[in-house]
Each structure stands twice: as C-alpha cells, then as structure tokens.
Structure 1
Amino acid sequence: MRKRELGKTGIAVSELAFGGVEIGLPYGIGVKSAADMLSEDESIRLLHEATESGVNFFDTARLYGASEAIMGKAFRDRREQVVIGTKCRQLRDGNGELPNGSDLKKLIKTSLLESLTALQTDYVDIFMLHQADLGILENDEIPQIFADLRAEGAIRSTGVSTYTVEETQKAIETGVWDVIQLPFNLMDQRQAQAFAQAAEKGVGIVVRSVLMKGLLTSKGHQLHPALADVENHLRRFDDLVATGFPDLSTLAVRFVATFPEVSSLLVGIDKPAYLHQSLAAVNGAHLDAETLARAKDLAYPDPTFLNLPHWDRMGWLN
C-alpha cells in the first residue's frame, strides 16, 4: 500500500482510507437496518484485515453510531499502527444557531472527550469539524479552541469536512486547518479547482464520496425514477471501463487516486469483498493522461443536482 503525506501534518497515510460510517449505522444503497450490517465481531475482524493489508488511515465521527466504539475495541492493542480521524458533533443547534463563548468550547471539548472514550485512546490524529459551512468557517473562536486541544496533546492535527467549493476555498484561505475532507468523484469533479491552492498551502486533502454511496459500483442500476438521468449518465462510463478496468468502481477509485494533491481517498467498507476490491483498485496503476482526460470529460453536466444528502432525505437511495 502506497502512503502519502497528509499535507504538512507530518502524518503519512495510506492512499486508501477506511470509511467507518457503514460499520456504525445503516448507510448506503440497500442498507435499511442493523440486519443489513456486519456484527460487531465481524466489523472488528474486517478492521484488523484492513490494517494487515496496509491500510493505516481510519475515518469515523461522533455521529456515526457505534463506529467509534467498534474502532476502539479493534485498535486498543495496536493504536500506534493506525491513524484515526474523527469528527466533532454538529455545532449548530436545532434552530441553526451557533453557540458562543464557554458553551461553544464545552460542546467541542465534550464531543472530543466522548470520542476519546469510545475510541479507547488519549489522542486522535485528526479532529475535524463536521459539515463546516461558511458561517462556521468565519467564526474566530473555533480555531482557537482546536489549537488549544492540539497544544494539550489531545489531537495531532485539525480539519474540516466541507461540501461546496466555496467552503473548501474558505477553509484553505483561513490558514488554520491542516486537513480538508471533501466530496469528489467521477460524476462530481467541482472540487478539483481547489486542489492546487490546497497543495500550495500545505493542506492535506482527503476525498470522500468516491463511489457516491455505491452509485459508482454495480449498485448503480434500477435507481429511483427521480434519478433516471443519473442512471443514464452512469452508463456512459461503460466504454471507458471496457478499456482495461474490471468494473466501474475500480475506475472510480483510480480516477481519484491519480490526483497527486489527494492525500487519501475514503471508501466506505462493510464487507471483506469490498475491502479486497478497494485494495486491488487503489494498488493498481494510476490513469494515463488520455484515460484521465476522457474521465474528466464524463463529469455529470449538472453537478448541483448531485446532492446525496437530499436524495437520502427524499428516499431515492432506498
């Protein structure tokens, strides 16, 4: 497994990062309840197999159900072998308001303490804001709270999870965040415009939504009628897959891995078969210039429609 530097953090991470949401709660196409998920013991065995296969970077969050607790049990006897990134609870309340002063500090520190307890560790390698919108990124108190936690040794580096290009650019411009986790894939390539700026500033880029919750896999068939145009567009990748890729998911993984500014790419893994498939994909050759150009040309023409959280709320991914 190749490793890359995570920006200027001094942390080396595997090109493939284990996305931990699927082992913590029902998530993705066709996963409706705990009955569709691995048991805790099966999840722990899967995490161990990932580390033994060269994966050292594991992504989780306070909001990912049992994910942190399962990782805590899996890694308590091998903590120094893994890089763990987790995310703070959402900062906005039910009315969309941000707390301030001591309330804001208490929320962030309590969330981190909960994560440390669940993960059975006294530090996390990357502590991130979950869903950092422009208002949160413009807040002056939050970076200082994170800086204090780093000075205390409870976290090694700081990060934010963004959705839009504007949020990503704002996070880079502030100069206070070490890592940005963002969505980027064959269909939605908008965030690529921020890659050069991130590299120039030494900000590590971690990509999520590589497989679009499974749409860029064999699951991208017989979708909800509202996604008919998306399904038709997915078929446009068939000719490119036929040039030398075993399947669409392999093309999707290698496409993201080809960008040198990307430190690591997150793939949600909840079955040994998906781990093996992801390992084979990321360990293969990066795309050549011609294939990369063809893949870039196949980006979805209306990327604003590619709103997975909205699709989920509408029930289009069931």
Structure 2
Amino acid sequence: MNNSELLIKHKLANTDISVSAIGLGTVKLGRNQGVKYPTTFKIPSDQEAKQLLQHANNLGINLIDTAPAYGNSEERLGPLLKGQRHDWVICTKTGEEFVGGQSSFNFTPEHTIKSIERSLQRLNTDYLDIVLVHSDGNDLTIIEQYGTLEVLADLKKQGKIKSTGMSTKTVEGGLAALKQADAVMATHNLSYSDEIEVLDYAAEHNKAIFIKKALASGHICSETYDDPVQASMDFIFAHPGVTSIILGTINPKHMSHNVKCAQQALLRSRNE
C-alpha cells in the first residue's frame, strides 16, 4: 500500500497532533463482560492482537482508543506497542473503572491524578496524547463540581498530557466540555443524531470530535442497507465537525472494509 492509499488524517483542534479518520477502539482486547455488542466474542491472544495492530498500522490507522474501563486493555497495549510509541496516537480515559465485572466511577482530583499516573505506567510511556473524562452521564456535575477537566488541563501544562476532552452523554455536557478542552467523544450514527449541536459547535470553534457507537455497537449492521458501513461513513463524515470515528473491531477484514468505506466517504464529502 502506498502513501496515497493510506487513511486520511485530520488535525486535532489546535494541537500538533494528527489522527487517522478511523481510530482503533480496544475494549475487545481487554474485556468481553458487560458489553453491548450483538454477538459474543473471544478476547484475542497476544499474537492475534499484535497482528491486528500491525494491520491497522499498514492501513494508515494511527489512533488507538483505550481506557481503564476496558478491562486489561491498557496493560496489554503497553508491551504490544513497545518500540512503536511514535507510530501511535494514544487516547485513554479517566473516571470509570471496571473491576470484577462491575463498573464504578470516581471523578475526584485525587483519583484523576492517580489514574493518569497508572495509565502512563501501564502503557509504558511518559506522555499521553489524549485523555478524555469517561462520563457516567452526569456531564455537567463532573465538569462544574468535580473540576475534572481543570485537573487534566493542569496535567497538560506539566507535559503528561498533550490534549484533553470528555466522552460525554449529553448535549449540555458536550458543549461545556468543548469550551474548556480540545475534544469531545460523542454518539452520532444513522439511528441517533441528538448530539449534532455538539458537532456543530466543534466545527465552528476548531475543536475535535471523536465519534463513538458509529455502528450502534454493531446493531446497524443488521439493518436494511446495501452496505451499512458505507452508509454510516457517508452519514457521519458528511458533517465537517467529525475528526475521527472510533471502531472496535478485532476482525482484520472488517477493519479493512471500515477504512475503505471511510476513504470513500471522506473523498465524497470533499468533492461535494
């Protein structure tokens, strides 16, 4: 594959970071309990995960999305990415924990700092490209009462984080987060566009938007589209506020198809 065929990259807000239009979500590398996918799956072996990461890299994907809530995803990625740190933009999160099959949340400044230090150790790195607050749905409370984004901003000044943001669940929270941070991870797909105001704001103010649940956790693939992935990519990338779509496949063929559809959607949107 030559450079002209690699996945298009977008600048992340006002940072010096460029991220691929498709990011690799890694929840399936570390957790298969309490997930909302339509079918069950087996967590890949280290060799399978290594091959998956190499395939992603070959396609031009440079964005990896992980989190403490993704089971042992961070712990696995540290050794898997050894010697490749500068090939990847690593996005992790703080706020949600997943232990013993159960999620819990902690947004205090003390926990946030501890969580970041732990992620740095697990991922074997001295900086994190992107850190998002993993919301429990009470977006404004997290922002206004806990001041979690302010804590991340302080860590950014210290050089431990390059960019900050929040994985939100409300329009109000998404807008408030974008006023303080670089990025928001929002839900936007063919069956749900309630957060489009957040995407509009990002486009108008040069902020980054990462799309989660682009395929409704795989459920859109069972609907009546000729190609539900292409239809999804066309719909999502038609909005100028979208920076990257996070997709958590562990199937190399699906990954290749996702990238092909994304490229076609991006080229189509640029030509319109």
Question: Is TM-score (shorter-chain normalized) higher than 0.5?
Answer: yes
Unaligned runs of 5+ in 2: 1-6
SS of alignment partner, residue 39 of structure 2? coil
Match of 1:275 in 2: 255
Pairs aligned (count): 254
2: distance between equivalents of 1:83 and 1:288? 26
Letter in 2 for 1:127: V
Task: Map Cα deviations across residues 115-170 of structure 1 (whole Å, 9 max, x no partner).
Answer: 11111111110011001622112136323321221111111011100112222122
Name the TM-score, length of structure 2 as normaliser.
Answer: 0.86
Task: Map Cα deviations across residues 174-203 of structure 1 (whole Å, 9 max, x no partner).
Answer: x21111001100110111222221222222
Name the TM-score, length of structure 1 as normaliser.
Answer: 0.74
Instruction: Evaluate the alpha carbon distance shift between residue 194 and residue 3 of structure 1 in structure 2; reply closer, same or farther with a 3 A threshold.
Output: same
SS of alignment partner, residue 132 of structure 2? strand
1:253 shift after superposition: 2.2
Instruction: Evaluate the alpha carbon distance shift between residue 12 and residue 83 of structure 1 in structure 2; reply closer, same or farther with a 3 A threshold.
Output: same
User: For the Cα contact (< 8 Å) 1:185–1:209, is it kept in 2?
Assistant: yes
2: distance between equivalents of 1:46 and 1:250? 22
User: For the Cα contact (< 8 Å) 1:43–1:70, is it kept in 2?
Assistant: no
Letter in 1 for 2:151: I
Q: CA RMSD in A?
A: 2.3
Is 1:150 the counterpart of 2:130? The answer is no
2: distance between equivalents of 1:114 and 1:255? 37
Instruction: Evaluate the alpha carbon distance shift between residue 287 and residue 151 of structure 1 in structure 2; reply closer, same or farther with a 3 A threshold.
Output: closer
Match of 2:71 in 1: 65
Letter in 1 for 2:110: K
1:286 shift after superposition: 4.2
1: distance between equivalents of 2:81 and 2:234? 28
User: For the Cα contact (< 8 Å) 1:44–1:70, is it kept in 2?
Assistant: no
Letter in 1 for 2:220: L
1:116 to 120, 123, 142: 120
Letter in 2 for 1:31: T
Structure having the larger proportion of residues in strand: 2
1: distance between equivalents of 2:264 and 2:105? 46
SS of alignment partner, residue 29 of structure 2? coil
Percent identical pairs in the alignment equals: 30
1:114 shift after superposition: 1.4
Match of 1:295 in 2: none
2: distance between equivalents of 1:254 and 1:97? 35
Unaligned runs of 5+ in 1: 221-233, 242-246, 293-318
SS of alignment partner, residue 264 of structure 2? coil
The 5 A counterparts of 1:68-87 are 68-87=74-93
2:236 to 230, 249, 256: 256
2: distance between equivalents of 1:287 and 1:210? 19
Task: Map Cα deviations across residues 197-254 of structure 1 (whole Å, 9 max, x no partner).
Answer: 122222211111001111111xx2xxxxxxxxxxxxx33xx3xx3xxxxx21221123
